[in-house]
Amino acid sequence: MKETSVLICGVGGQGILLASDLLGKVAIEAGLDAKKSEVHGMAQRGGAVVSIVRFGEKIYSPIIGENEADFILSFEILETLRQIKFLKKSGICIVNNYELPPFSVSTGIDKYPENIPEEIKKHSKEMFLINGLELAREIGNSKTVNVILLGALAKRLSFPKECWIKTIKEHFPPKIIDINLKAFELGYNS
């Protein structure tokens, strides 16, 4: 299997690292080599956060250069644009339809760009816009947005669904397994 690179991005505190953890575990579960890279510390205090997961027969670098990601899974619509240079022209974007204005925007210095989905489409083969928060509220837990988005990504990757379900069951404490399985299904079928 040729290597696949997934870039997961968003804003510190959105549950990005959990999503990349799960994806990495699923790849190992499926018997592949996998590497995952992320940055902690200063970068997490409400700043832009990026995590990269790569899997395939043999992976060397845990990070990627421009034009090397097969997928971008984005938790915040503007952050997709910040990272889109890393996406291959043939790459796919799965984007949470959610705006979190950076500080310069909320104070009126900068403007939140308009027509972001159109811009994303220009630089990707396909884009899927997911109403993560809306779906999460449907199942009564707004904290499950990350697993919903992961479900949407899972649908487009080739891992067996059982691998995902097994990994979710192993990863979460018993009390919140069911709600996360529900969230995963919701994303998978969105």
Partner 1 sequence: MKVLLSGNEAVARGAYEAGCNIATAYPGTPSTEILENLRKYKDIYVEWATNEKVAFEVAVGASFAGARTLVAMKHVGLNVAADPLFTVSYEGVNGGFVVITADDPGMWSSQNEQDNRWYALMAKIPMLEPSDSQEAKDLIKLGFDISEEFDTPLLFRMTTRICHSSTPVTLEDKINHPIKGYVPNVSKFLCLPSNARRWHPIVENRLLKLQAYNEQLNKNLMEINDTSIGIITSGISYQYAKEVFPDASFLKLSMTYPLPIKLIKEFAGKVKKIYVIEENDPFLENNIKILGIQVTGKDKIPICGELTQAVLKKSFDISTPKPTELTVKIPERPPVLCPGCPHRGAFYTINKLKLHAMGDIGCYTLGAFPPLNALETCVCMGASISNAYGIERASTPEDKTKLVAVIGDSTFFHTGVPALINLVYNNGCTTVLILDNLITAMTGHQQHPGTGKTAREEPARKVSIEELVKGCGVKRVFIVDPYNLDELKTILKREVAIPEPSVIIARRDCVLRIKPQFAMKVNNETCTGCKLCVNLGCPALTFKDNKAYIDHILCTGCGLCQQVCVKKSISQEPKC
Q: Which residues bind partner 1 (CB under 8 A)?
A: 11-12, 21, 24-25, 28, 33-48, 59-67, 78-79, 81-82, 84-85, 87-89, 101-108, 110-116, 119, 123, 142
Structure tokens belonging to residue 74: 């984005």
Q: Which residues of 136-160 are buried (b: 16+ CB within 10 A; e: fewer)?
A: beebeeeebbbbbbbbbbbeebebe
Q: What CA–CA distance (Å, rounded) separates 169 from 178?
A: 8
**For residues 56 and 131, what is the distance between their CA atoms, to the nearest angstrom?**
30
Q: Which is nearer to partner 1, 32 or 153 (CB)?
A: 32
Minimum Å distance from CB 158 to partner 1? 19
* Shortest spacing between CB 96 and partner 1, in angstroms: 15
97 CB-contact burial (10 Å; exposed 0-12 / middle 13-18 / buried 19+):
middle
- Residue whose CB is less far from partner 1, 31 or 160: 31
**From the CB of 189, what's the least distance to partner 1, in Å?**
26
Q: How far is the CB of 153 from partner 1 (least distance, A)?
A: 17
Q: Which is nearer to partner 1, 5 or 180 (CB)?
A: 5
Taken as a whole, the chain contains a residue count of 190
